[in-house]
Amino acid sequence: MVNYNQYGKVAITVAKENGNPKDSWKAEVKNTFPNSESSQKKSCPKSAFLGLCEKGLVKGITEGKYTRSIDNKAYAVKAIDILRSNTKINYTPKELWAKVKEELFIEKKAHNSQMDVVLALWNEGLILPVKSSLIV
């Protein structure tokens, strides 16, 4: 198994629960970071995960309204687009973040575990395939 950071592991666990992602994330970060309130409240990885859920991209989680985040949701969705268009490349979180920044024209913004969440879900097969718009 790939060694994801703790937020990547939280995302995998929550996605596999197939429950309410907001409530499940909150419970899982408390389990993962029992002695760090700041880690429990860290918004960037949570917003990236909830943004993917909101767009209906995470297996087992119904599309819905889960986050008010605009930026972190956009970063995560763009990262999925990049992964889908470059399936032969095994990105590190740093490399994927550089590609997201390039495509979204972001200059001075640091990666803050959003790509760890995206890559964990992607590599574990928890991202849904592209929906076909063709009517048969």
pLDDT score at 124:
95
The answer as to whether 39 is a domain residue is yes
**pTM recorded for the entire structure:** 0.91
DSSP per-residue letters across 49-66: HHHHHHTT-BTT------
91 lies in a domain? yes
Domain that holds residue 27: 6-123
**pLDDT by 10-residue block (mean), the chain, 136 residues:** 77 93 96 94 96 96 95 97 92 95 90 94 93 49
Answer whether residue 132 is part of any domain: no
Domain presence at residue 62: yes
Determine, yes or no, domain membership for 75.
Answer: yes
| Tokens found for residue 101 | 């920044």
Residue 59 lies in a domain: yes
Q: Per residue in 94-103, pLDDT tens?
A: 999 999 999 9
Q: Is residue 86 part of a domain?
A: yes
Residue 37 vs residues 18, 70, 71, 98, 118: alpha-carbon distances, Å = 25, 24, 23, 29, 23
Q: Does residue 128 belong to any structural domain of this protein? A: no
Q: How many domains does the chain have?
A: 1
